[in-house]
Structure 1
Amino acid sequence: MVNRLILVLGDQLTPSLSALREADCKTDTVVMAEVASEAEYVRHHPKKIALIFAAMRKFAGQLKQDGWNVAYTRLDDPDNAGSIPGELLRRAAEFKAQTVLVTEPGEWRLIEALRDTPLDMHLLPDDRFLASHAEFEGWARDRKQLRMEYFYRDMRRKTGLLMEGDKPQGGKWNFDHDNRKPAKADLFAQGPLRFEPDPVVSEVLDLVEVQFGENFGDLRPFWFATTREQALAALNHFVTHSLPRFGDYQDAMLTEDPFLYHAVISPYLNIGLLTPLEVCEAAEAAFMRGDVPINAAEGFIRQIIGWREYMRGIYFLEGPSYVSRNALEHTRDLPGFFWGAKTKMACVTAAIDQTKKHAYAHHIQRLMVTGNFALLAGIDPHQVHEWYLEVYADAFEWVEAPNVVGMSQFADGGVIASKPYVSSGAYINRMSDHCKTCAYKVSQKTGEGACPFNLLYWDFLLRHRDRFANNARMGNMYRTWDRMKDDHKVQVLDDAKVLLARLDAGQAV
């Protein structure tokens, strides 16, 4: 009789997980553990910790009902070894096992820790993703630029999603041009489906409040789905009520509506309660029924089989050192307002406030508000990376690091993006209602009331002119600067210098 340990991690809560498929419930033991090393390697948002622990407990309960022997360790168990390797060694001694089956983790940190554990460790592919490492490596081989759009088209062909034979539905691969409608005052939607805490969730909330109550973020109210059934209900709610207008307004921002038409299912995807293909098939089915327009269905599906799969491919292709890259040599510390200190910028306040409340902000808030500011101000990209990893419920390093280090901060030197995603205040004004109530004037280019994004935009471009002046997508920006009057240029850069000095001094900006 072979007695093996089957490790199931907190982001692997999928019944069809490769490690479970390879196991035998009659002889093998599933090991699951809430451990300090995973909860504390960064200061995670309390909602994120509660989501994972509650979903883990319920998944373990379901496995037991299905006939598995589950050795589950709670965070406050006095015998808790405090780490995944430690728990494996403890359970190996308890069950007299030497072999461990585990689906490959999504972080190099944990992969390396498991490989260093003195047990017979078998890492199995995580085939919940549509593109294997080998497939992505094959796609990337010999390409001068690894652009997501071309990878996405291959994923469309592979899955058959929104395809008519070998041609894309609607005659185009990408309908993003139709998905840039600005915010309007009446753009209020139902938002995501919410769930009342049951006894299991309530018990976890009490534990997290005691252990992690000092972390940035509001633990309550807590309404995330914590079972597959609830996650499926949340998906159906999105497809029915929000997907029809998701495409049009996916880039919009409104101060009083943090969710708009966004799905808010990425936490459920990233911990395994939902699978990417079933999510995309639900969107495709809604399009085929005529319930949603193609720009909405295509835009949503691209987020899943395009960006999500592409980001994972980049993370594993580039290796463990990726998170430490700093191509632009930015070294400024993360400002205190990222942790809730006062700022007069209305757009930043809105993004940080809802992050604190919900452990959520949508992609444009992350890229073009907080990420844009960090890039323009020259913030150390590793600090930015760790902040995003800490504060969002859907943040796991395989998806968060490429989005931040590459897409948002251009710290990878252009592996992901062909140019840095920077903008002045004009973009935020066009896509949101934030500027109407801001202490700064978005139309003001210099002086005390000038929007900080306006000042820092030009300061960033001038600091990095040698790198970007010959970039085909940025040359026009430099030509615009060169046409400005000399005294205006001096004023812009002087004002930016003052602003950055205030930032460094910890003063409100």
Structure 2
Amino acid sequence: MANTNTAGPRGGTLRLVLGDQLSDNLSALADLDPDRDIVLMAEVRDEATYVRHHKQKVALTFAAMRSFALRLEARGITVRYIRIDDPANTHSIVGEMHRVLDDQPGEAIVMTECGEWRLAQALAGFAAVVEGRGIAVDIRQDDRFICSHDRFRRWASGKKQLTMEFFYREMRRETGILLDDGKPVGGQWNYDAENRRKLTKGIRPPERLRTPPDAVALEAIADVARLFPDHFGDLDAFGWPTTAEQAEVVLTDFLANILPGFGDWQDAMAHGQPWMWHGLISTSINLGLLDPLDVCRRAEAEYRSGRAPLNAVEGFIRQIIGWREFVRGIYWLKMPEYGARNFLDADRVLPWFFWSGETDMTCVADVVATSRDNAYAHHIQRLMVTGNLMMLLGVHPDAVDDWYMTVYADAYEWVEMPNTRGMATFADGGIMGTKPYAASGTYIDRMSDYCSGCRYDVKARTGEGACPFNRLYWGFLERNRPRLRDNHRLAMPYRTLDGFGEERRAALLAEAEATRTMLGAVPQS
């Protein structure tokens, strides 16, 4: 696709479409006049490098944007498309907005609210400038989400604790999904207790449908390899949908062939098995190629028709209209202060093996490898392997945010930060969850086959050969005793710790400190 700087009619409306707004039903396009209006889309370095995004994420975004621009042009819509290698590219969204206005003055600007705080602030500043020049700016609600910012604020108002489960029930009531006569199907709202099976011998994850890159995607991949050679990750295994039609194929395959097993094994992990029973549609939903509510209704139809069990369908739907909507609500309710939270005063650097994968911890090496190769790891790998270890090590939450934003193709700050600063590291002090998800190696052993082939002994609590998760766990509790001792959900482990006696607790803390240093989690300079 060549650079497209089409000079449309003067005096119309300029409509901005961002890289994660690739939806036919985008509010910014709702009343578009193809005879007068211009759509602006721009690949800019500001967005590709504010963190050094995984090469696959940059290629995915560029390819999806280029394909969407072609889709609009096929409908007779004028698109001003700025390629990353355009010599005149200002490399910022605001810069490209000013440039198009300088070239083609218009009467108004329409955009859909963006997903990240920093860009929203930049666009608000731009709006103030151009409104001063007499150009109206209409920033519209992103109604691809079920819960608006105002709706979430109303729900959160007056609550001491924002609990996802109760929010999720509200979303179920509002959408009518998995309800019969206003009551939850099956008599329960949540079937998570049925969704914690370890992958047992003889059970193999299903083969997964991947999307071979089309011509547009191949060109984007080549551009990224050429222009962003130092970014994290490999491009060889790229297999993400970049068009709505490709995303539909992946979704259809998931609903028909994968969803029935999702419930039982959604928390299971296995060495060399990156996909398991997960949907692989988060990239498509977050880009706008799939409509999340439609996805949920189609999953419900699989249950209603008897093709998928309730625990699988409910667990899958909860990820979308529960967690996805909830974390977005938290992000916009609490920013920008949320991005500075560090409740546990974590102050360590991120060890290099999170980038290289060079570690004898089999679970960590496997998750880093699949993240590098695929720009993907599923939610338990993210939370209970990498996130858990970062928290036990005391890695500063800024470094944690940066890592997750860098390595995953579905990562956008609105969804990643509450999951990492909230769920993974408890840096938010309990806004997202009621306790830290700290765990020893026992959890990983229970939910995976990682420990059977690891050089470390998951059964040993202490000593050089003991699993580092074990060596860090009790020290983490002791180190954070002033902040966590009164958390009622940690009463049992603190009773156990208290029973060890003062001398043994001091020894456990000393071993944890030595382990942090040994693993490279040294204090920030």
TM-score range, shorter chain: over 0.9
TM-aligned CA deviation for residue 187 of structure 1 = 3.2
- Tell me if 1:14 matches 2:30: no
2:496 maps to 480
Aligned mate of 2:369, from 329, 334, 353:
353
Percentage of identical aligned residues: 50
Matches of 1:307 and 1:505 in 2, distance apart? 30
- Tell me if 1:24 matches 2:33: yes
Q: Which deviates the most, 29-38 or 463-472?
A: 463-472
2:91 maps to 82
Q: Give the TM-score taking structure 1 as reference length.
A: 0.97
TM-aligned CA deviation for residue 194 of structure 1 = 1.1
Q: Which deviates the most, 477-486 or 256-265?
A: 477-486
1:68 maps to 77
1:38 maps to 47
- Tell me if 1:242 matches 2:258: yes
Aligned partners of 2:15 and 2:37 also within 8 Å? yes
Residues 160-171 of structure 1: matches in 2 within 5 Å? 160-171=176-187
* Runs of 4+ deviating beyond 3 Å: 485-491
TM-aligned CA deviation for residue 426 of structure 1 = 0.2
2:249 maps to 233
1:373 maps to 389
Taking a change above 3 Å as real, the CA distance of residues 221 and 344 of structure 1, as seen in their structure-2 partners, is: same
Aligned mate of 2:57, from 31, 41, 48:
48
Matches of 1:175 and 1:358 in 2, distance apart? 30
TM-aligned CA deviation for residue 189 of structure 1 = 2.5
2:222 maps to 206
Aligned partners of 1:425 and 1:442 also within 8 Å? yes
Matches of 2:208 and 2:519 in 1, distance apart? 36
Matches of 1:427 and 1:199 in 2, distance apart? 44
Q: Which deviates the most, 470-479 or 368-377?
A: 470-479
Aligned partners of 1:445 and 1:454 also within 8 Å? yes
Structure 1 residues 410-457: Cα deviation after superposition (integer angstroms, max 9, x where no partner)? 111111110111100000000000001111100011111011111111
Aligned mate of 1:433, from 419, 431, 449:
449
- Tell me if 1:194 matches 2:210: yes
Aligned partners of 2:350 and 2:521 also within 8 Å? no
Structure 1 residues 318-356: Cα deviation after superposition (integer angstroms, max 9, x where no partner)? 022312211111010011011115211111111111000
Structure 1 residues 12-48: Cα deviation after superposition (integer angstroms, max 9, x where no partner)? 0001000000332221100001111100110000000
TM-aligned CA deviation for residue 505 of structure 1 = 7.4
Aligned partners of 2:435 and 2:490 also within 8 Å? yes
Residue type of the alignment partner of 2:480: H
Matches of 2:423 and 2:207 in 1, distance apart? 27
Aligned partners of 2:113 and 2:141 also within 8 Å? yes
Matches of 2:314 and 2:53 in 1, distance apart? 32
Residues 201-280 of structure 1: matches in 2 within 5 Å? 201-280=217-296
- Tell me if 1:139 matches 2:148: no
Structure 1 residues 198-238: Cα deviation after superposition (integer angstroms, max 9, x where no partner)? 21111111100011122110111211111001101101111
Counterpart of 1:72 in 2: which secondary structure? strand
Residue type of the alignment partner of 2:31: E
Counterpart of 2:110 in 1: which secondary structure? strand
- Tell me if 1:97 matches 2:106: yes
TM-aligned CA deviation for residue 487 of structure 1 = 5.5
TM-aligned CA deviation for residue 183 of structure 1 = 2.0
**Aligned-pair Cα RMSD in Å:** 1.3
Aligned partners of 1:182 and 1:430 also within 8 Å? yes
Matches of 1:200 and 1:268 in 2, distance apart? 16
1:312 maps to 328
In structure 2, runs of 5+ residues without a counterpart are 1-9, 132-136
Residue type of the alignment partner of 1:119: V
TM-aligned CA deviation for residue 135 of structure 1 = 0.7
2:172 maps to 156
Matches of 2:465 and 2:509 in 1, distance apart? 15
2:487 maps to 471
- Tell me if 1:334 matches 2:345: no
Structure 1 residues 61-118: Cα deviation after superposition (integer angstroms, max 9, x where no partner)? 0000111100001101111111101111111112122532110000011011111223
TM-aligned CA deviation for residue 256 of structure 1 = 2.0
Structure 1 residues 385-429: Cα deviation after superposition (integer angstroms, max 9, x where no partner)? 111011100000111111111111111111111011110000000
Matches of 2:119 and 2:210 in 1, distance apart? 32
In structure 1, runs of 5+ residues without a counterpart are none
Aligned partners of 2:357 and 2:368 also within 8 Å? no
Give the aligned length: 506
